[in-house]
């Protein structure tokens, strides 16, 4: 039914429906499953996300010891009343972190679009839930809207850190979340596309450099920043701000940047933060590998 963002926006606007509805119809057409089956599956995904957020907010620790407990620290900071950036954004950040800390602790999460970027969509959803008071159905629609944009990215660029760097993972997740926030808040399909474009173009070039090859550092905190990016971009789009570069062109730019990005910066742990002295020392400690001379 649609191949790019322009087409999904045109379909939604011409039919007078949400982008979520277009995505549901596409799933029905592609998979041959009934509407009820598709929505039931997404409802299960939503439950997994909710449970991951709750578990992370109770405090978890990864086996490596690299990550864990930061979501709790952020929630405690919110409660202190001293936050500078606002409770809603920090709540989204903490819940994004919570989800990825659960992932790092080998817990169950829902990849959105990947495990390494799984915190942004649920983090923002369960944060704005307290402000927008959506029904369960509307929360499920949020996931279909984010899925529509993820579908476009996956088929026109990449959602893989190994193929396109972290811009393809957390960048894509952040754009997906921003678009879904806009629709949940009552924005138009065009505004959702603007939010995706604003978010993604501000994360272009983000490298994938996991310390010790684990999806922990800096992945968890990148989900935090991705959630904040998504919230701000959604507000900008709802305010009427537009991207000078159309969304589909931003996605294409991300693809081309990923193609030219050095292999050392695409999930190989050979460059970036993974190659710093501390990064190498942590790798050696975790895996019991003696440091090479000079490291």
Task: Indicate the Cα dihedral angle 223, 161, 273, 201, nearest 10°.
Answer: -60
> Tokens 């754009």 correspond to what residue?
175
Burial of 78 (0-12, 13-18, 19+ CB in 10 A): middle
> Tokens 């990864």 correspond to what residue?
62
Residue 57: what pLDDT?
98
Task: Indicate the Cα dihedral angle 23, 95, 167, 277, nearest 10°.
Answer: -160
Residue 291: what pLDDT?
67
Cβ neighbors of 19 (< 8 A, separation 6 or more) are 8, 9, 12, 144, 145, 148, 179, 183, 189, 192
User: From the DSSP assignment, how many helices (H) and strands (E) are in the chain?
Assistant: 14, 0
pLDDT by position in tens, the chain (length 295): 899 999 999 999 999 999 999 999 999 999 999 999 999 999 999 999 999 999 999 999 999 999 999 999 999 999 999 999 999 999 999 999 999 999 999 999 999 999 999 999 999 999 999 999 999 999 999 999 999 999 999 999 999 999 999 999 999 999 999 999 999 999 999 999 999 999 999 999 999 999 999 999 999 999 999 999 999 999 999 999 999 999 999 999 999 999 999 999 999 999 999 999 999 999 999 999 876 655 5
Burial of 135 (0-12, 13-18, 19+ CB in 10 A): exposed
Instruction: At 211, list the tokens.
Output: 């310390």
CA-based torsion, 197, 200, 60, 42: positive or negative: positive
Residue 58: what pLDDT?
98
Confidence (pTM): 0.97
Task: Indicate the Cα dihedral angle 63, 69, 70, 72, nearest 10°.
Answer: 150
Residue 292: what pLDDT?
61
255: closest CA among 175, 176, 154? 154
What is the distance between the alpha carbons of residues 171 and 263, in angstroms, rounded to a whole number?
Answer: 18
Residue 53: what pLDDT?
98
CB 231 within 8 A of CB 185: no
What is the distance between the alpha carbons of residues 61 and 105, in angstroms, rounded to a whole number?
Answer: 6
Residue 293: what pLDDT?
55
Instruction: At 9, list the tokens.
Output: 């926006």
Domain map (residue ranges) of the chain: 5-50+113-285
3-class DSSP state for residue 141?
Answer: helix
Burial of 233 (0-12, 13-18, 19+ CB in 10 A): buried
């Amino acid at each position: 039914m649609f191949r790019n963002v322009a087409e999904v926006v045109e379909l939604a606007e011409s039919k007078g429906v949400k982008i979520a509805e277009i995505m549901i119809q596409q799933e029905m057409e592609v998979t041959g499953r009934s509407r009820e089956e598709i929505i039931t599956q997404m409802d299960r995904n939503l439950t997994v996300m909710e449970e991951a957020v709750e578990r992370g907010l109770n405090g978890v620790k990864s086996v490596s010891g690299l990550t864990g407990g930061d979501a709790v620290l952020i929630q405690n900071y919110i409660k202190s009343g001293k936050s500078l950036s606002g409770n809603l954004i920090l709540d989204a950040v903490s819940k994004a972190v919570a989800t990825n800390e659960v992932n790092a602790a080998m817990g169950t999460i829902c990849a959105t679009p990947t495990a390494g970027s799984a915190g942004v969509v649920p983090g923002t959803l369960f944060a704005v839930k307290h402000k927008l008071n959506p029904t369960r159905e509307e929360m499920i629609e949020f996931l279909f809207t984010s899925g529509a944009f993820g579908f476009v990215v996956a088929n026109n660029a990449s959602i893989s850190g190994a193929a396109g760097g972290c811009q393809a993972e957390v960048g894509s997740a952040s754009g997906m979340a921003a678009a879904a926030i806009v629709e949940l808040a009552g924005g138009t399909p065009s505004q959702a596309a603007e939010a995706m474009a604003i978010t993604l173009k501000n994360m272009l070039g983000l490298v994938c450099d996991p310390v010790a090859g684990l999806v922990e550092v800096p992945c968890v905190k990148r989900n935090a920043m991705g959630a904040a990016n998504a919230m701000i971009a959604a507000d900008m789009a709802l305010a009427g701000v537009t991207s000078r570069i159309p969304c589909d062109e931003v996605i294409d730019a991300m693809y081309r940047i990923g193609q030219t990005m050095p292999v050392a910066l695409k999930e190989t742990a050979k460059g970036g933060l993974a190659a710093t002295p501390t990064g190498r020392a942590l790798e050696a400690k975790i895996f019991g590998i003696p440091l090479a001379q000079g490291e």
